[in-house]
Amino acid sequence: MTLRPIITAPDPRLQAMSTDVETVTDEIRKLADDMAESMYGADGIGLAAIQIGIAKRVLVIDLDQKEGKRNPVAYINPKILWASEETAVFEEGCLSVPEIWDDVERPARIKCEYLDRDGKKQQLEADGLLATCLQHEMDHLNGVLFIDHLSRLKKSMALRKLTKAKKLKETA
Known catalytic residues are 137
Q: Return the C-alpha torsion angle 143, 144, 146, 149, nearest 10.
A: 170
Binding site for Ni ion (CB under 5 A): 94
**5: burial class by Cβ within 10 Å (0-12, 13-18, 19+)?**
exposed
Q: How far is the CB of 59 from Ni ion (least distance, A)?
A: 10
Complex with Ni ion: residue 94 or 138, whichever CB lies closer: 94
Residue with the closest Cβ to Ni ion? 94
Complex with Ni ion: residue 105 or 118, whichever CB lies closer: 105
Q: How far is the CB of 79 from Ni ion (least distance, A)?
A: 18
Q: How far is the CB of 96 from Ni ion (least distance, A)?
A: 5
**For the chain, what is the total number of helices (H) and then of strands (E)?**
3, 7
Complex with Ni ion: residue 24 or 44, whichever CB lies closer: 44
**3: burial class by Cβ within 10 Å (0-12, 13-18, 19+)?**
middle
